């Protein structure tokens, strides 16, 4: 292309501009490379946006939409890095640097760095596997590497969590060995209800069942609860407390608010019917 422009200048008796062309040509190439990179990136982002819209039109479930959004986000990030790496190589070529020695040096350096950055390589490999196997998605409530929170961002290197207190945790993917995901389709609001030994267990069960029915009819909670309350029965006999284990099947992310409301209603009902909730703390021998 450079030669063609020079010939065109000669044909129109503008040979004096060829010197300026030699100076300006690298700048023109750089501009063209940057523009091309921006266009390719824009086309890809537009294509992924259209894919997401098409999935929504087909009535995909919330779970499928979350997975696709997560994959598109990581794909956009990865492709953006790849586009600019290629663009930088072309820019270096336009500035007169030979790309072949750079690639050879990068290959040797990559091998050397690989031995000293195995954890980084493991981060990317683990992140790729987690995305392919759909273990974690953006917006999920998870527990990983001893940290619990809502997934705000997933990359091939780390997972960003925000916990209940608002603290943000960046967990390298190589540190993730077990994933506890509390956002898959449904969850359970589990409660341990303590009563005294003098309490009538059948009466307690009846009250808890009634509370569960009332909670399912409450307009604030009926859309969150998926099934009737389950009373497993006596789960533990303590020194002063009989523990009754119960649970309710709820939508993902709804177990905490349903559990809190359930416990509050149980406390109110027990107080109304004179059912004691013992103090689980140790007592002195004189009180035995």
For residue 179, pLDDT over 90 is answered with no
Convert the pLDDT of each residue in 157-171 to its tens digit: 889 999 888 899 999
Question: CA–CA separation, 192 vs 208, rounded Å?
Answer: 12
* CATH code at 135-181: 2.30.30.60
* CATH code at 2-116: 1.10.287
Model pLDDT, residue 43: 83
Model pLDDT, residue 285: 38
* CATH code at 186-272: 3.30.70.100
Model pLDDT, residue 279: 73
In percent, the amount of the chain with pLDDT more than 70 equals 72
pLDDT confidence bin for 23, thresholds 50/70/90: low
Q: What is the pTM of this model?
A: 0.56
Mean pLDDT across 274-288: 60
Domain boundaries, given as residue ranges, for the chain? 2-116, 135-181, 186-272
């Amino acid at each position: 292309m450079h030669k063609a422009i020079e010939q065109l200048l000669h044909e129109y008796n503008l040979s004096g501009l060829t010197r300026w062309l030699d100076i300006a040509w690298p700048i023109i190439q750089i501009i063209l490379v940057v523009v091309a990179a921006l266009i390719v990136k824009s086309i890809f982002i537009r294509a992924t946006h259209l894919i997401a819209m098409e999935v929504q039109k087909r009535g995909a479930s919330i779970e499928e939409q979350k997975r696709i959004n997560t994959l598109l986000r990581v794909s956009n990030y990865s492709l953006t890095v790849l586009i600019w790496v290629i663009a930088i190589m072309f820019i270096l070529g336009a500035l007169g640097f030979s790309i072949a020695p750079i690639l050879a040096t990068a290959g040797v350096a990559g091998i050397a760095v690989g031995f000293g950055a195995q954890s980084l390589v493991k981060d990317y490999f683990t992140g790729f596997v987690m995305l392919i196997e759909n273990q974690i998605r953006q917006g999920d409530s998870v527990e990983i590497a001893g940290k619990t929170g809502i997934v705000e961002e997933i990359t091939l290197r780390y997972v960003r969590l925000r916990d209940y207190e608002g603290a943000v945790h960046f967990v390298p993917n190589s540190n993730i060995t077990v994933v506890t995901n509390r956002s898959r389709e449904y969850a359970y609001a589990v409660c341990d209800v303590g009563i005294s030994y003098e309490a009538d267990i059948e009466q307690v069960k009846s009250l808890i069942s009634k509370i569960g029915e009332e909670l399912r009819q409450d307009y604030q909670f009926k859309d969150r609860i998926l099934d009737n309350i389950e009373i497993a029965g006596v789960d533990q006999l303590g020194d002063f407390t009989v523990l009754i284990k119960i649970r309710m099947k709820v939508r993902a992310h709804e177990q905490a608010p349903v559990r809190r409301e359930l416990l509050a209603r149980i406390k109110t009902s027990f107080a109304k019917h004179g059912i004691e909730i013992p103090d689980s703390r140790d007592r002195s021998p004189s009180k035995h």
